[in-house]
Amino acid sequence: MSDFPWQSAFEIRDQVAGGSASAIEVARAYLARAEALNPKLSCFLTIDHEGALAAAAQVDRAREAGEELGPLAGVPIALKDNLCTRGVRTTCASQILGEYIPPYDAHVVEALRASGAVILGKTNLDEFAMGSSNENSSFANVHNPWALGRAPGGSSGGSACATAAGLAPLALGSDTGGSVRQPAAFCGITAIKPTYGRVSRYGLVAFASSLDQIGPMARSVREASQLLQVIAGHDRRDATSADRQTGQYVAACDRGVKGLRVGVVRDLLDGLQEADVRARVEAALSALEKEGATLVDVSLPHAKHAVSVYYLIATAEASSNLARFDGIRYGLRVPGADLTETYTKTRAQGFGPEVRRRIMLGTYALSAGYYDAFYLKAQRVRTLIRRDYDTAFESCDVVCTPTTPTPAFALGEKTSNPLDMYLADIFTLPPSLAGLAAISTPCGLSASGLPIGLQLVAPPFEEEVLCSAGQVVEDGCGLVGSRPAALD
């Protein structure tokens, strides 16, 4: 039983389906590990014992009855706490939603339940998904399982930490500007940001609606691909959901990269200050080249503006989306106060400093006299960034960069300088602004033993090529089978 936490989702599903292990046994093993390690890691905000065991029992009953089991039957999964789960607290790591219990499931949660997955609980995050280090949670800082004094990345740091630490083989996060890819790089796992519209956002608490996308996180490319297979698809309840056929993501992992053209943004790679990151990325490129890929130099001339563009567009959309949290319909209510006083006090008491900062920035960018100068200009540059990728894809099939400019930084290292924190997403922001598909997968360790991630970006709805190329990187220089030393 002690081996369950380090088995793959495929191994667990096969054991449950074959009867050599029960879903109840698996769930209990993971719940026990989560209870034991969560005080050290703070990656779960809610551990749903009752719900997990009930779901596991249902899988066991289905197997005993000879029913066909779903692709994730009995496989535990952790969900970022901005995904609505019926009857289970959903906080967005914010005091303003501290006791909110949704009456419905997000689309991806419905898909997971239908697949037979066992939801263990809800994971910690930067409040309302705003952050790059998981230090903006209203409840606790998440700790990187590779080095407890380091940040796990954000905003999906809780999901990344839980997966890397063996508390769940699979997890879901949300990615607005890099929030599954950056923590995946810091924690040594794989994460996929699907094309905007590939996965329904119904039931995802909105941060920036033109950027938000739910993404799978796992310890291997193949497992992340399987999870994407389960959650991808059209949903009429989401107006931005694409009505397009999904791909064969798991099968794509076996296709190799012979003939694949890999675009290398050489000026970004040459400008890296971290020698370890550059060396590991070069090793990954060599692994791709060895298996038949061709390296092509490409340019993204407007990528240098991505941070400025993102923090105008995302904050503007956040200021609109978060206006609904007024203390009347959700969350805190100030006893004895009139509605105006309730609104003012609730937003001041309920939102943390980073959320308030972004609301103010976004409101300013949308205000009369500044809309054209800031927000509209940012949207125009966003279009230029997308055109840069269109041009690059004329000569390559995927674009390669590091996922992050450094390995995981120390907790507290960047909290006093918001701009320095924002720059941690410099490589993940351009694909998000362009609405493209991207994957981050480990490509080795730094000299100090911290994971380093490689990012591959593909044209819209070409997630299959990311699975193929990611698998080759994983086979050549990945970390599958490695266990975080800080947990020993």
Is residue 98 one of the residues assigned to a domain? yes
pLDDT at 342: 46
- Is residue 221 one of the residues assigned to a domain? yes
Q: What is the pLDDT along the chain (488 residues), one digit of tens a residue?
A: 457 889 999 999 999 999 999 999 999 999 999 999 999 999 999 999 999 999 999 999 999 999 999 999 999 999 999 999 999 999 999 999 988 999 999 999 999 999 999 999 999 999 999 999 999 999 999 999 999 999 999 999 999 999 999 999 999 999 999 999 999 999 999 999 999 999 999 999 999 999 999 999 999 999 999 999 999 999 999 999 999 999 999 999 999 999 999 999 998 888 888 999 999 999 999 999 999 999 999 999 999 999 999 999 999 999 999 988 876 666 555 455 454 554 454 556 689 999 999 999 999 999 888 898 899 999 999 999 999 999 999 999 999 999 999 999 999 999 998 889 999 999 999 999 999 999 999 999 999 999 999 999 999 999 999 999 999 999 999 888 888 977 76
Residue 325, both tokens = 């949290």
User: Of 8, 137, 155, 220, which is the active-site residue?
Assistant: 155
- Among candidate residues 8, 22, 42, 80, the one labeled active-site is 80
Domain annotation covers residue 112: yes
Residue type, 432: S
Is-catalytic flag, 155? Answer: yes
Which one is catalytic: 8, 179, 319, 440? Answer: 179
CB atoms within 10 A of CB 56: 25
Is the Cβ–Cβ distance between 203 and 185 less than 8 Å? no
Looking up tokens 């992340």 gives: 224
Note whether residue 173 is domain-resident.
Answer: yes
346: in domain: no
DSSP 136-186: --SS----BTTBTTB---SSSHHHHHHHHTTS-SEEEEEESSSTTHHHHHH
401: left (phi > 0), else alpha (psi -120 to 50), else beta?
beta
Domain span including residue 59:
4-255+438-487
Active-site residue, 179 included:
yes
Cβ-contact 198, 461 below 8 angstroms: yes
Q: pTM of the prediction?
A: 0.95
The per-residue pLDDT for 340 is 52
**DSSP 8-state secondary structure symbol assigned to residue 49:** H
> Over the range 318-351, which residues count as b (16 or more CB within 10 Å of their CB) and which as e?
bbbbbeebbbeeebbeeeeeeeeebbeebbeebb
pLDDT of residue 346: 55
Q: 71: domain CATH number?
A: 3.90.1300.10
In a domain, 215, yes or no: yes
Q: In sequence order, what are the beta bridge partners of 174? A: 214
What's the structural domain count of the chain?
Answer: 1
Q: Is residue 443 part of a domain?
A: yes
- Give me the phi and psi of 177, to 5 degrees please: -130, 15
Whole-number Cα distances in Å, 258 to 286, 316, 446, 465: 13, 43, 29, 11
Predicted pLDDT of residue 227: 98
Q: What angle do CA 71, 125, 250 make, to 5 degrees?
A: 25
Query: Does any domain span residue 361?
Result: no
Three-state secondary structure readout of 72-88: CCCCEEEEECCECECCE
DSSP of 396-434: -SEEEEESSSSSPPBTTSSTT-HHHHHGGGTTTHHHHHH
